[in-house]
């Protein structure tokens, strides 16, 4: 179950629970975390249920819906310049942690992030496909979904191919430099510490335009209200599936969140 309708719910729960279990935080702690939105919403939900104080730093370019959800769940938001991307949000979180004696969960560096995907996401995929998966495709934000899921899937299915997806204008995994893009939630502009760069077999670059178009197409032809990064994932999956040598293969990708989180964006400029 993903209570706030995104793939980030499970990492939020695992990071908070692990921090509580280890004694790193307690009921008097202030959690501070940089987020592009979905991890923040997941954290706001779990923190509300546990009566924990939460401050989130987020680029001002993230959708207004995300901001409203965060404040609705009781989190405090500190916006950072869009031009600084996620790196700016991370720096602000680190500064606030010093000023307010807060605890940063560090989703980009925290092994509790990929761990929960190894224990849950991968197991669910194997069960639902009856152990028949040839390709796993996932966009990279923190890298937790791709790393944890791919590591567990490859343990069970050594011939499986893992594919990373990134914005074409911020193609750091492909050897390029970080840049601005509109696929919210992925393409942080740097290679996250928790990303296992040896686990994926290929990187597919997807443009903003194609990600938006694919997300709209999924709504109109499949009745699936998904977000922009989901469009990028499906676009990359179609690209690989269209290759003649992959005919008959089984592909699994992630629909990361819901379109309702992007009502104010150009996703709805039909």
Would residue 8 show up in a list of annotated catalytic residues for this protein?
yes
Position of tokens 């964006």? Answer: 265
Catalytic residue (choose from 36, 45, 229, 230): 229
Cα distances (angstroms) measured from residue 197 to each of 31, 144, 164, 218: 29, 11, 9, 30
For 142, which DSSP code? Answer: S
CB 239 within 8 A of CB 38: no
Catalytic residue (choose from 8, 161, 182, 210): 8
Structure tokens at 16: 């908070």
According to DSSP, the residues that pair with 30 across neighbouring strands are 53
- Report how far residue 149's alpha carbon sits from residue 117's, in angstroms, rounded to the nearest whole number: 5
According to DSSP, the residues that pair with 258 across neighbouring strands are 226
Would residue 49 show up in a list of annotated catalytic residues for this protein?
no
Strands 53-59 and 76-80 turn out to be parallel
CB 190 within 8 A of CB 196: no
**Region at 223 (left for phi over 0; alpha for psi -120 to 50; beta for the rest):** left
Give the count of alpha carbons within 13 A of 19, CB side only: 28
Strands 103-104 and 30-34 turn out to be parallel
- List phi, psi (to 5°) of 188: -70, -15
The catalytic residues are: 8, 229
């Amino acid at each position: 179950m993903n209570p706030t309708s995104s793939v980030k719910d499970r990492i939020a729960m695992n990071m908070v629970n692990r921090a509580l279990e280890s004694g790193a935080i307690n009921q008097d702690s202030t959690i501070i975390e940089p987020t592009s939105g979905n991890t923040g919403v997941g954290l706001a939900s779990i923190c509300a249920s546990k009566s924990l104080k939460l401050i989130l730093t987020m680029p001002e370019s993230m959708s207004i819906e995300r901001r409203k959800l965060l404040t609705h769940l009781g989190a405090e938001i500190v916006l950072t310049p869009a031009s600084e991307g996620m790196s700016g949000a991370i720096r602000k979180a680190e500064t606030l942690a010093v000023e307010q004696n807060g605890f940063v969960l560090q989703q980009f560096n925290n092994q509790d992030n990929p761990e929960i995907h190894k224990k849950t996401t991968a197991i669910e995929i194997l069960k639902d496909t009856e152990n028949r998966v040839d390709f796993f495709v996932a966009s990279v934000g923190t890298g937790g979904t791709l790393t944890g899921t791919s590591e567990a899937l490859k343990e069970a299915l050594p011939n499986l191919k893992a594919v990373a997806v990134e914005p074409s204008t911020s193609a750091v995994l492909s050897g390029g430099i970080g840049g601005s893009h509109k696929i919210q939630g992925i393409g942080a502009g740097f290679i996250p510490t928790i990303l296992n760069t040896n686990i994926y077999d290929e990187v597919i670059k997807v443009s903003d335009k194609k990600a938006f178009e694919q997300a709209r197409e999924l709504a109109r032809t499949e009745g699936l209200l998904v977000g922009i990064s989901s469009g990028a994932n499906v676009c990359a999956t179609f690209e690989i599936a269209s290759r003649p040598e992959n005919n008959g293969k089984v592909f699994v990708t992630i629909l990361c969140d819901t379109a309702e989180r992007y009502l104010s964006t150009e996703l709805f400029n039909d």
